């Protein structure tokens, strides 16, 4: 079947950065090779019942051995940048102490291959794969993990800093806090509810310390990739409004305000956090060159129904305990991805303009560091419609004054989708998990044509 005709997208600035994203734990495989240590996800997947299809990421897409094939796909796509993550346990197997030179060698080879293909490397230093040795000592619940993270960041910058112009410290600390430490749905599988808040603070502290380490190595182009989405209130009632505000605080402002404003959005939350919080906030709010936003969907939130039988509510397919003071609701009237997520491109415009208005001059230029969807099939016209709609929404936001400098699709290829295993496909490239053959999808061809059209402009 021939490629779909490229949509007539509006023109983006000529220096706009087009990219795709992946993460080490989801694609690399080779978990026992070249001195790599175990990660919290290795331990999590080994526990029966944690992954819906019973799979693990020991092989994943075997990017560790097939990276040259994957770089060739990036070059053919015509993309400007590749956001990948460096696996902390591959570089520092125990999370602290000795640096594994063989692990850094892999990223040396990858960066060189990307540059030779004309693709800018954009490494993320942490994408959820905490070294298991550190996790067994408390993981992100303890302050020392932030300090170990900074030392690891320094080691990576010392090796790759001469060739890397864009850096990301953390990916989605909100999800690791909520799903990994609060609800136990992701690694490390702890169910601490609000006692998980120290993990949020220590990740943000680790971010600030890593920014300092990168700056000390002469790095520029530093950002963070936080997940954000508009919070919609189920009704104008006081109960629903208060519930939605609290949800928005936990998922959005708790992770943006400290980085951008140097303070937590609520004194009660700040009082629950460990350590010298005021001093830590000075480190957390180190100036950034850009701010990364991962966007997938808005969330409709109301108060728990006091008349309903006590039971879990649903958050993107994840059961939430009934004792939480908010309840996500179904968003009706929009198409859904195969993951069941509503497709709401205009919410991206809303989100970006709300960030412009809320943070003003404190907000540096923005990058959309993830945006994508799960659909089956190689002729994935629904994914094309998703990307087309979100790029138009992004352009609308920019036309209204949002300063956005780049856009990264999640993801280059199908991969290990965390607790879902291999049941969800977010890739522009199809992976046959029996043979690991790579097959570009219709969405890959559409994006390639769209990028060529942008370059001609």
Q: Which residues are catalytic?
A: 172, 370
What is the spatial order of strands in the sheet that 327-329 belongs to?
A: 231-233, 299-302, 327-329
Q: Is 418 labelled a binding residue?
A: yes
Q: Where in 113-208 does DSSP place strands (E)?
A: 120-126, 167-171
Question: Per the annotation, does 185 bind a ligand?
Answer: no
Determine the distance from the C-alpha atom of residue 316 to the mean position of all C-alpha atoms in its chain, rounded to a whole number.
15
Query: Is 417 annotated as a binding-site member?
Result: yes
Look up residue 35 and give its DSSP letter.
T
Q: Is 127 annotated as a binding residue?
A: yes
Tell me how far CA of residue 341 lies from CA of 65, 159, 232, 312, in angstroms. 33, 40, 15, 18
- CA separation for the pair 399, 414 (Å, rounded): 33
415 known ligand binder: no
Write 62-65 long-range contacts (CB < 8 A, 24+). Answer: 62/28, 62/29, 62/30, 62/436, 63/22, 63/27, 63/28, 63/29, 64/28, 64/29, 64/30, 64/33, 64/106, 65/29, 65/30
* Residue 18 is assigned to a ligand binding site: no
Asked if 404 and 366 count as a contact pair (C-beta separation under 8 A), the reply is: yes
The binding site comprises: 26, 127, 171, 296, 410, 417-418
Annotated binding site for substrate: 26, 127, 171, 296, 410, 417-418
């Amino acid at each position: 079947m021939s490629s779909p005709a490229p949509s007539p997208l509006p023109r983006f600035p000529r220096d706009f950065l087009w990219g795709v994203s992946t993460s080490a734990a989801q694609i690399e495989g080779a978990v026992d090779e070249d001195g790599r240590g175990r990660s919290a996800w290795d331990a999590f997947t080994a526990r029966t019942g944690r992954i819906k299809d019973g799979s693990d990421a020991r092989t994943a897409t075997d990017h560790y051995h097939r990276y040259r094939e994957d770089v060739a796909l990036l070059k053919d796509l015509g993309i400007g940048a590749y956001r990948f993550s460096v696996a902390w346990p591959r570089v520092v197997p125990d999370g602290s102490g000795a640096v594994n030179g063989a692990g850094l060698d892999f990223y040396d080879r990858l960066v060189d291959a990307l540059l030779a293909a004309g693709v800018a490397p954009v490494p993320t230093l942490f994408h959820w794969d905490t070294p298991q040795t550190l996790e067994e000592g408390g993981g992100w619940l303890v302050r020392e993990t932030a300090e170990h993270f900074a030392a690891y960041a320094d080691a990576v910058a010392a090796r790759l800093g001469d060739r890397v112009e864009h850096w990301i410290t953390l990916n989605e600390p909100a999800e690791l806090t909520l799903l990994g430490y609060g609800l136990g749905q992701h690694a490390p599988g702890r169910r601490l509810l609000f006692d998980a808040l120290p993990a949020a603070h220590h990740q943000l502290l680790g971010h600030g310390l890593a920014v300092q380490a990168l700056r000390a190595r002469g790095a520029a182009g530093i950002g963070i990739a936080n997940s954000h989405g508009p919070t919609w209130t189920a009704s104008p009632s006081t109960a629903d409004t208060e519930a939605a505000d609290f949800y928005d605080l936990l998922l959005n402002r708790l992770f943006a305000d400290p980085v951008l404003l140097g303070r937590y959005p609520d004194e009660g939350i700040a009082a629950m956090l460990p350590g010298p919080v005021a001093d830590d906030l000075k480190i957390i709010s180190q100036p950034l060159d850009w701010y990364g936003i991962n966007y997938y969907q808005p969330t409709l939130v109301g108060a728990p129904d006091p008349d309903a039988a006590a039971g879990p509510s649903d958050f993107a397919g994840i059961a939430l305990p009934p004792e939480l003071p908010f309840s996500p609701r179904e968003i009706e009237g929009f198409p859904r991805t195969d993951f069941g997520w509503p497709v709401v491109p205009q919410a991206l415009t809303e989100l970006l303009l709300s960030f412009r208005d809320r943070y003003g001059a404190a907000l540096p230029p923005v990058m959309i560091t993830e945006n994508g969807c799960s659909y089956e099939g190689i002729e994935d016209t629904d994914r094309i419609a998703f990307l087309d709609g979100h790029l138009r929404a992004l352009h609308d936001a920019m036309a209204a004054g949002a300063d956005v400098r780049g856009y990264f699709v999640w993801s280059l290829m199908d991969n290990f989708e965390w607790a879902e295993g291999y049941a969800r496909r977010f890739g522009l490239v199809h992976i046959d998990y029996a043979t690991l053959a790579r097959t570009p999808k219709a969405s890959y061809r559409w994006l390639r044509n769209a990028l060529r059209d942008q370059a001609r402009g």
